[in-house]
Amino acid sequence: MTRTYDAIVIGAGHNGLCLAAYLQRAGLSTVVIERRHEEGGGINTEEPVLPGFRHNMHAQYMEFFDIMPMIQDFGLEDLGLRTVMPEAQAGITFADGRPPVILHRPDLLDRTHASIARYSKADADTYVELKHRAIALQQLFAAGLYSIPQPSGLDEQGAMIEAAFGDLGVGPQFLMKSPKHVIDEFFETPELRALLYRASVEWGYPIDGQGLGAGFLLFVMWTLGNWKLARGGTHTLAKAMTQACYREGVDLLENLMVDQVIVDDGRAVGVQTRAGEIRATKVVASNADLRQTLLDMVGEDHLSPLWVKRARAYRYGPSHVLGTPCFCLYEEPHYKSARWNEEIDRCFYTMVGFDGPDDTVRYIRDAYMGRVPKPAAGTWVNSLWDPAQAPPGRHAATGWYFLPSASALTADEWTEVRDTFNERFLDVWQESAPNMNRDNVIAHKLYTPDQMERKNLMREGDFSNGEFAPDQLGANRPFPEASNYRTEIGGLYLCGPSAYPGGGVHSACGYNAYKAIAEDLGLPSPVVAERGY
């Protein structure tokens, strides 16, 4: 029996769930079809090592909770979403025990100032000033994030950053700079530079990416320090979103791979699965990756030569490819650097193993070049804030390594990485935190990019689902002709991170795709006047 819905959403990642909830609320009968047995895609919390030790396998911190429309519109806080916002947000610690650099929440910038000023008062002033500018622009950023991107010329963009930062020496030429250039120009402290390089890369901006420097000022400086922890693990957000979908009446089919999007006379009319055909009278929206959607599910036969070319040219990695180490600990790390500032022991995110900016850059460039870097990591001990994430009196630590793209190593090489890299990192960790000896580690496991690719079809293990580069960002994402969530197939929309604004837990791809669909079908606009988007 063929089932028919008004709308089919492919993929129960958080963008797909977001879109489905809005569609169903707008009166469209909607089904979400998910290949895995769990909803949430990259917002995924598991117990991969030992019972009771929870680890976020992909997404770690949440920087958009305060502005995410779905949280408000669907009352996700009544449905289980709870957050913690640690005071000390991001820090870097050193093996020689010199002072850490710690960045705080926006309401505690005086502490951040003091931390940076230990090295350089000028840098402290600059950092705080840049944060204030970013905070002032938050409403604008949010509106931009939750809107269909509009193409804008370089002149316009240049004028915009000049207006915002011109008194700090920023001109249109900043549009051509890389994040490293911008960081180096603004800050002199090596320790701070090391931290900011990594922050840039973690946002998805390659450190040497020409043309992303202005983006560093706008987005990284905005989000840095806005990080929240989802109680119970990031998957809790997926649960709340799923529950919202259930309450609206969305159908969710799991363990069901969409093999094909059925195209009839240039229009997407349904999907083919092992369970048969599922038809859609109005909308097929794909939260799956771009190439999978266009080349595998739709098929080249239904696409114009230009679209085939564009899809093939879309790039994944190497700049945002991560491995997730999971450590089960007796006690949380105690850093040598804590003698200067004990907050480093209670910092949400702590960089370990980078002695300075050269180290960070070498590490990142190694990973980009397909070489396994010298171990170093960003780490979280979420059980510090949410004791439920580990058994009583124990701690669960998770981290991110930047690693080569999945295809850069052979299967055997990845096995080797899984078998050895955590051990090597522990040696490094112990240099900064002497209590991180082997006796403190109950067990550990490393989840590598090749596994991420297999688990979530996150190609190359690229967390951004498509490299962040000027030609794949903004109104160029995934390519100019597809940047408004619509495709050349009637009724087929993109709603995943291949679309603007890209990877990250903001649900903007799903929200904006709803806006595009609403425009096309005459559905209610989701814009809330007071919110402004």
Scanning residues 62 to 101, which ones bind another protein (CB under 8 A)? 78-80, 82
Site map 356..395 versus another protein, x via CB under 8 A? ------------------------------xxx--x----
Closest CA to 7 of 237, 243, 248, 238: 248
Please say which residue, 82 or 279, places its beta carbon nearer to another protein.
82
Nearer to another protein, 416 or 481 (CB): 416
Instruction: Verify cis geometry, omega within 30 degrees of 0, for the bond prior to 318.
Output: yes
* CB-CB contact of 162 with 151 (8 Å): no
CB of 67 to another protein, least distance (A): 22
Alpha-carbon separation of residue 127 from 132, 193, 195, 208, 283 (angstroms): 9, 11, 12, 21, 46
Pick the binder of another protein from 3, 4, 47, 295 (CB under 8 A).
47
46 touches another protein by CB under 8 A? yes
Query: Does 173 sit near another protein (CB under 8 A)?
Result: no
Of 382 and 507, the one with the shorter C-beta distance to another protein is 382
Task: Output the smallest distance, CB 290 to another protein, in A.
Answer: 21
Tell me the DSSP string of 240-272. Answer: HHHHHHHHHT-EEE-S--EEEEEEETTEEEEEE
- Burial label for 475, CB within 10 Å (0-12, 13-18, 19+), is middle
Nearer residue to another protein within complex by CB, 78 or 155 = 78
48 vs 356, beta carbon nearer another protein: 48
Binding mask 211-250 for another protein (x = CB under 8 A): --------------------xxx-xx--x---x--xx-x-
Site string for another protein, 395-434 (x = CB under 8 A): ----------------------------------------
CA triple 372-376-378, angle to 5 deg: 120
Give the residue from 17, 520, 415 showing the smallest Cα distance to 239.
Answer: 17
- Looking at the Cβ atoms of 97 and 391, the one nearer to another protein is 391
Q: Which is nearer to another protein, 78 or 423 (CB)?
A: 78
- Does position 259 bind another protein by CB under 8 A? no
Q: Please report whether residue 38 would count as binding another protein according to CB under 8 A.
A: yes
Count of Cβ atoms closer than 10 Å to residue 292 Cβ: 19
Q: What's the min distance (Å) between Cβ of 419 and another protein?
A: 12
Choices 14-22, 93-101, 429-437, 451-459; region in contact with another protein by CB under 8 A: 451-459
Residue burial 399-419, b: 16+ Cβ < 10 Å; e: rest: bbbbbbbbbbbeeeebeebbe
Assigned token pair, 424: 């090597």
The total number of residues shown for the chain amounts to 533
Rounded Cα–Cα distance for residues 270 and 298 (Å): 11
The Cα angle at residue 498 between residues 242 and 366, in degrees rounded to 5:
110
Binding site for another protein (CB under 8 A): 37-38, 45-48, 50-52, 54, 78-80, 82, 231-233, 235-236, 239, 243, 246-247, 249, 251-257, 274-275, 386-388, 391, 451-452, 454-456
